[in-house]
Amino acid sequence: MHLNLKPRNRLSKNPKKTRPARLGATISLLLFMIGLPLLSVVGMELLERGSFTHTIQWIVANQTLFFLNVGLSFCLLAFVYALVGSLAISGSITTLLLGLMALISYMKVKMIGEPFFPWDILLNKESMDIASLVTGKAAMLRIGAVLVAVIVVLLLRWVLPRVTLPLISRIGLGLFSLYAMYAFGVKTPLAGKILDHAGVNEIVWNQQENYTNNGLALAFTLNVKNSIVPKPENYSDQSIAAVAANLQQAQSSSGLQKASVSADPLNGKKPNVIFVMSEAFWDPTLLTNVKFSEDPLPTIHRLQKESTSGYLLSPQFGGGTSNVEFEVLTGNSMSMLPGGSIPYQQYVSKPVPSLASYFADQGYKSMGIHSYEGWFWNRNTVYKDLGFQTFKSSEHFQNPETKGYFISDAEVSRNIIDEVDKTADPMFIYTVTMQNHGPYDDPRYGENQFKVEGNLTPEAKSILETYTQGAHDADQSLQMLIDHFKDSSEPTMIVFYGDHLPMLGMDYQVYKEAGFINSSNTSDWSLEEVKKMHSIPLVTWSNFDMPKQDIPLLSDSFLGAHVLDMLHMEKPANFALNSQLAAQVPGLLSNLVVDADQSLHTSVPDATKALLEDYRNVQYDLLFGKQYLASYIDHDYLSKTAQASYNAEFTDPDSSLRANGESSTTPEAKPVSAQ
């Protein structure tokens, strides 16, 4: 490879002066190409770890991993240099990219306990929107440090010698660097040997520990391959056929018949089924060592005594709402997917059977309602693929009431009532609220009604009181629905729960100060603490008689099957399989398994492994595979395409009226136009 290293004094003709200049330029080049990646990795780890001591301790204890991170950073620098052709400019670009990676990872860990993943790049406006809510001195200092580093490297343009590589050499350098990053990203056999020799231990089920142990650059690169879900080893037409045969046998032995809702208590009417997933809803009175001036959740606590209720095991903490929707609506489990993945962004790109498409088959109008913009988490397109007939996002709310930062929960309840009352067909509604989305460090509700007593710092006390006020509003919005439908002639069932525990301050501040957990490091949590930090209250209500059930713990992915059982509706194949698995392991996370006796495990007991493999194979078949299951059972449901008239009522007034069973000349009709 020929290097054209030119000293700054281009008029010099003296060979004796030129040789030292070239030698100095060569040394400067080597120092830059080696030194910048070294300093970049140290800076990245310092930004994310927040402590110079911890950073040095990690480097000393993991020297091989440190140099693997340096090697990847060098490859990025070399690739950018091959494209740009200027050392200083390519160095500043590389510094900016690596700095942004560290900043985003730091913010994500502080917010929701998850680092920065390759697929987070696909979030686009979602990440921009949430990032605008992140403030604080520590974040500002880190942003400033990255900007200073970028400027300093850029200023080296006037210090470093000019280095000109022939075009063919730059192409070769760029291709080599790109292949090296690719090899580690997809873990080619050679890269795998290097990683094994280096003692790399990839902890997919605990990504925070994975990044802490392996370093940000390496862990991020290793996660590239997790963007593609590998085919299970025993996935085949024959294995799926066996699952279908077992399900058909179970249906026959249980005496189930194809029917919708039992006609006895409902006089032949199909009930409205309303799911309300309340943003960050949780019961703050569960906090230890904390007392409230009055009960903030009177409706929830009453229903826990009177109706079917219990706790859901959420795959998320502090964020990732769409992953909870994915589990509930499809019956699939995040524990079968790479840690940190986002199905709405990565995997749902074709019709996927769900509760929405199932209820539509049963003669229901299936509708999604969300009090935020439809692009968020890609819901506009995903809801179509999940079989919803219509999706009412915030763009279609008419002069909505806001509270705090977002549309109020009360406004959402009013919209639910309006949609049910104006629709002739029974409705399946999946609702996602937004009012009490974090952060809570700003007392956005004004004077909070609920005062907190306990050994909390003033900051933690303010955060908890603000959150509790929002949780109370969610409780009252549920009561609004109950007050309306208790006198309705239409049988109606409401299923109310939260998506995840709220992020009450950075580093789990309120939870730690209240003694709810012992550490902000999730890898130090006991199984009981993992369970507590993922358990969400679930309550149900109906204006018709339903037996009360106590649900100690149930994964979100199993909720749909349980509700269908409560309604005496025959479950389609995938939800029937969910019921079988839930009977043995009602709680299923990637790092926690809860068995039928409520005992806690880190992995599925041996007796359940075969059934879990069936579940994994079916999930793969529906999301990524060849849809073998549809050829054996429930073909129409499992192979159903998206609704042809999806969301037409918000773009075509006549379609809206027809969907509601009304004539276009009906004077009372108030079609909603898109804003």
What pLDDT band is residue 5 in, cutting at 50, 70 and 90?
very low
Closest CA to 26 of 49, 1, 62: 1
Work out whether the CA dihedral 16, 20, 21, 25 comes out positive or negative: positive
**Cα 56 off chain centre by:** 32
Give the pLDDT score at 88: 83
Q: What is the DSSP string of 228-277?
A: SPPPPTT-SHHHHHHHHHHHHHHHHHHT--S-SS-STTTTTPPPEEEEEE
pLDDT at residue 401 greater than cutoff 90:
yes
What pLDDT band is residue 235 in, cutting at 50, 70 and 90?
very high
Model confidence over 603-619: pLDDT tens digits? 999 999 999 999 999 99
Look at the block and give the residue holding tokens 């959740």. Answer: 297
Give the pLDDT score at 138: 74
What's the count of helices (H) and strands (E) in the chain, helices before strands? 25, 17
3-state SS, 503-562, equals CCCHHHHHHHHCCCCCCCCHHHCCHHHHHHCCEEEEEEEECCCCCCCEEEEEEHHHHHHH
- Bigger pLDDT: 266 vs 649: 649
Tokens found for residue 292: 């409230």
Q: Which residues pair with 292 in a beta bridge?
A: 452
- Bigger pLDDT: 536 vs 101: 536
Q: Which residues pair with 291 in a beta bridge?
A: 453
Q: What percent of the chain has pLDDT over 90?
A: 56
Give the pLDDT score at 154: 85
Fold (topology level) of 271-634:
Alkaline Phosphatase, subunit A (3.40.720)
Buried residues in 649-673 as b, exposed as e (16+ CB within 10 A): bbeebebbbebbebeeeeeeeebbe
pLDDT at residue 381 greater than cutoff 60:
yes
Closest CA to 555 of 590, 528, 526: 590
Query: Do the bridges between strand 365-370 and strand 402-403 make them parallel or antiparallel, or are there none, so unpaired?
Result: unpaired
Model confidence over 581-599: pLDDT tens digits? 999 999 999 889 999 999 9
Give the pLDDT score at 660: 45
Model confidence over 483-495: pLDDT tens digits? 999 999 999 999 9
Q: Which residues pair with 624 in a beta bridge?
A: none
pTM of the full predicted structure? 0.76
- Between CA 485 and CA 474 the distance in angstroms is 17
Buried residues in 380-393 as b, exposed as e (16+ CB within 10 A): bbbbbbbbbbbbbb
What pLDDT band is residue 659 in, cutting at 50, 70 and 90?
very low
Closest CA to 173 of 256, 105, 288, 80: 80
Contact 601, 586 (CB under 8 A): no
Contact 81, 490 (CB under 8 A): no
Provide the H-helix boundaries in 279-376: 298-306, 321-330, 343-346, 355-361
pLDDT at residue 657 greater than cutoff 50:
no
pLDDT at residue 675 greater than cutoff 70:
no
State the average pLDDT for the chain: 86
Determine the average pLDDT of the residues in 354-381: 93
**Cα 488 off chain centre by:** 36
Tokens found for residue 249: 């046998």
Model confidence over 28-41: pLDDT tens digits? 666 777 888 999 99
Contact 533, 525 (CB under 8 A): yes
pLDDT at residue 673 greater than cutoff 70:
no
The full set of domain ranges for the chain reads 4-227, 271-634, 644-675
Determine the average pLDDT of the residues in 209-226: 86
Q: What is the DSSP string of 349-403?
A: -S----HHHHHHHTT-EEEEEESS-TTGGGHHHHHHHTT-SEEE-GGG-SS--EE
pLDDT at residue 510 greater than cutoff 50:
yes
